Structure 1
Amino acid sequence: MNTKSSGSGHNKNNAAGNLQLTDISSNHLTLLSWVLQRHGMDAGTIFAEANVSAPATNSPTDRVPLVSVIRVLEHIREKTGDPCIGLKLYRYMRLTHLNVLGFALSCSSTLLDFVLRAQRFFGYVGSAFRLEIEELENSFLLRIQMDGAIFQEQLKGEQGTHLLIESFGYSAFGITQEVYGDPVPLLKMYLYGEPHPDVVAEFKTVGGEAPVITGNDFLGVEVDKVVMKTILPGANPQLARESDELVIELMATISQTNIVHRCERLIMEGLATGDSSLKQVARQMGMSERVLQQHLHDDGLSFSSLVNRIKKTLAIQYLQEDKKNISQIAYMLGFDSASNFSRAFRSWTGFSPREFKNQK
């Protein structure tokens, strides 16, 4: 498998490419409010002192400015004097806090499947982060980092940005462990910037014996390929696929102007009906083929790459479900023959469909 990809949660919402104020799911603030109350701290007072409005709901479709979460974290750190306070608060993050995405993640077949799903839907959590997956010889390097343009234009003056990156990454460890069933054995751990020694020590408690490397512009881990491809205890490809469809619908609700997610949904519908062409999708979106291609280009994508990404995701899920033969899967994904599907699948994963099924 030759996997090197990146997922970006941000949107360029107009033709000029001007970035809107980045947002994050409001349940981040809801979680912080709950944890603060649990620790005997008045969340309402802390939010008011940080000049941040308390969240009205816990719905992932309700968004708040990313700077609000950053300022709350920075204010709490200043009040407590604890450099690890963000980690301690975010250790309570669970899959259920991610709503339907959390359920989809919990049904992932392997850690690699889990990470690819998380990458695909990273914008569900927040619009400024991206998850990158790089395949090395015997391992995968997973990186969480801020979108560079967003950081430079909107967040560079926010001194607490590193707190959010650390806290967000720390919660990712907990969620991954929740899916894996045990602490995930790591080969290396990479921390953002030069964190406080207490923060480094706290990360070491979840990283085990893995060496910790600081001074990076991302937070990440390196994980052995064997670990990444181990079948997870909650694996359920069919439920994962059905949940993915619900996440896509929610993503469209979160940002009606998100070209990528609208396009993705229409491609999936087109595969089911037999027409997922650029011409058909552009017509349904009410724009010319050229304009649609330009929008996708602004997000670092092309229409063909988006189609291939969706076909790859669905192919893996269908093979893992093991309910359809290879010819049926090829037809459902729009291939004119099983042999053409097999060639495409090998280019995506390094395996033939039959070899992939036999790995189970």
Structure 2
Amino acid sequence: MLLISCCPSNQKRNNCTINITILLLHLLLLILLLFLLLLLLLLLLLLHHLLILLLFLLLLLLHLLLLLHLLLLLLLLPLLLLLLLLLHLLLLLLFLLLLLLLLHLLILLLFLLLLLLHLLLLLHLLLLLLLLPLLLLLLLLLHLLLLLLFLLLLLLLLHLLILLLFLLLLLLHLLLLLHLLLLLLLLPLLLLLLLLLHLLLLLLFLLLLLLLLHLLILLLFLLLHLLYLLLHLLLLLLLLHLLLLLLLLFQLLLLLLLLLLLLHHLLLLLLLLLLLLLHLLLFLLLLLLLLLHLHLLHLLHHLLLLLLFILLLLLLAILVV
């Protein structure tokens, strides 16, 4: 009002009033904007404190969860270790059962192959007079192929066994590291677990030795059978049919004895060695018979020549008389 009264005329007073009103409106707007800005800053500050408080509550919750987890771990650690030990024992038992199953399947396969070979040998004896050269060649190839397949199967089985043993050892070492980390809390239980671990390793080693012994016996048996096949081929070439039939019967009897003694592997090995010795003796006997036969043929030839010479002398004497 003082500003309006200072204006000299009415027109100027009106202009001054409008200008003062506009100025006041701008001042009000500026104050309002400042107030809004201050309110926004307070709101941001409040949100910042709320976020800090929320983060602090989250950290507190995480620490409580971690503490609860540690308490549960200390309470359930013996039970977890016992479950882990039972799991490893079950895996070991499954592995041993698998090895036994493979060994029995291998023995059954070997028996079937031997039976098939003997049946083929009987068939060859029946067809000997008709198809001797071709049958001998086919029989030799068949035995060689069967021997090669069997050796490949043994090699594959040995590699699988080595791989499984390596995986088991790796798993056992990892368990050993875990047990060492928990040594300060569970020393008696860990000592018991270590003892069980060593016992399991010893059992695996003994099983490996047993499997190697089986493989050695099977390989010796295959080599012996191959020697027996070569002996039969020599006998067939010499055409000693009677001796071949007797030898085949003797071989079938020995095969029955071998099937009865499969459960005792040391006796099986001794029987195989005796069979090899008998085959060698039969081979020497056949060679001696062949030499005697050739010698007798030579003497008979000389006797026939002598008789012809005597007959010629008698004929000449009769002609002279």
TM category (shorter chain) comes to under 0.3
TM-score, normalised by the number of residues in structure 1: 0.20
TM-score by length of 2: 0.21
Which is bigger in relative contact order (C-alpha 8 A, separation at least 6)? 1
Name the one with the larger strand percent: 1
Bigger CA radius of gyration: 2
